Amino acid sequence: MEDIQKFTFSVYTENNIGILNRLSAIFLKRHFNIESMTVSKSEIDDVHRFIFVVNITKSQSDKLIGQLEKQIEVIRAYSHTEDEIIYQETALFKISSKHLYDEEIQNKLKFRRANIIAITPHYFVIEASGLKDEIDNMHDKLKPYGLLQFVRSGRISISRPKMAISELLKEYS
């Protein structure tokens, strides 16, 4: 049996309504759970970039690329292993203001790449960016203070290998 690994898919698409459905249906059909997803504009005007994180085998990943690229409005899809990308996630923690001057919290903020981005009489908000494990760790540490809210973004990633979308688009037109 092939090993299951974490793959990060970068899918460059046209910016049209419904593409997310079309892409997510491909994962659904194969019973793959999407661990994380981010959609944003890309380095190219009018081209959107989806980032999906999925735990599957190498051969499943190869086939998935074929099915993703088969969609009319997908320009190109790439999958990368963990060592082929630079990536991070962002999280926000909302905590009661009574803990604002807690020494332990202040220490954690210094130690991590974390900032307080809002303070009100009732609560304050910490923003932290990093790898998933780092954010998980931060979450575990802050949980005892009573998280009023917690949210984490999907993964964003930049690949080490080149993804030549601009050249491809020239070729298409």
Partner 1 sequence: MSTETQTVKTTTTKTSKMVNISGAEAVIKCLLEEGIDLIYGYPGGAIMPVYDELYKYQDKLHHVLTRHEQGATHAAQGYARVTGKVGVAIATSGPGATNLVTGIADAQIDSTPMVCITGQVAKQLLGSDAFQETDIIGISMPVTKWSYQITDASEIPEIMAKAFYIARSGRPGPVLIDITKNAQFEKFDFEYKKCTSVRSYKAIPDVNEHAINAAAEIINEAKKPMIVFGQGVILGKAEEEFKALIEKAGIPSAWTILGLSALPTDHPLNVGMVGMHGNYGPNKLTNECDALIAVGMRFDDRVTGNLDFYAKQAKIVHFEIDPAEIDKNVKTDVAVLGDVKETLARILPKINKNSHSSWMQEFKDYMDIEYDKVIKDDLYPEKEGLTMGEVIKHINEASKGDAIIVSDVGQHQMITCRYAKFNKSKSNVTSGGLGTMGFALPAAIGAKMGQPDRDVVAIIGDGSYQMTIQELGTIYQTKVPVKIVVLNNEFLGMVRQWQQLFFDKRYASTEMVNPDFVTIAKGYHIEAEQVSKRENLASAVQRMMDSKDAFFLEVCVEKEGNVFPMIPSGASVSDVRLS
State yes or no: residue 101 binds partner 1 (CB under 8 A).
no
How many residues make up the chain in this entry? 173
**Looking at 7-15, 34-42, 89-97, 112-120, which segment touches partner 1 (CB under 8 A)?**
7-15
Q: Which of 2, 3, 18, 101 binds partner 1 (CB under 8 A)?
A: 18
Compute CA distances 81 → 36, 63, 87, 147, 154, whole Å.
15, 15, 11, 33, 16
State yes or no: residue 77 binds partner 1 (CB under 8 A).
no
**Looking at 34-42, 62-70, 126-134, 150-158, which segment touches partner 1 (CB under 8 A)?**
62-70
For residue 84, the 8-state DSSP code is: G
State yes or no: residue 172 binds partner 1 (CB under 8 A).
yes
- Interaction with partner 1 in 116-135: which residues (CB under 8 A)? none
- Interaction with partner 1 in 150-169: which residues (CB under 8 A)? 169
Compute CA distances 158 → 40, 115, 118, 120, whole Å.
13, 23, 29, 35
Minimal distance, residue 24 CB to partner 1, in Å? 10
State yes or no: residue 30 binds partner 1 (CB under 8 A).
no
Tokens at residue 148, please? Answer: 């009023």
Compute CA distances 88 → 50, 85, 113, 155, 156, whole Å.
15, 10, 12, 6, 6
Closer of 15 and 96 to partner 1 (Cβ): 15
Q: What is the sign of the dihedral through the CA atoms of 136, 137, 142 and 143?
A: positive
d(C-alpha 107, C-alpha 135), whole Å = 16
Which parts of this chain interact with partner 1 (CB under 8 A)? 13-18, 21-22, 25, 28-29, 46, 59, 62-63, 66-67, 69-70, 72-75, 169, 172-173
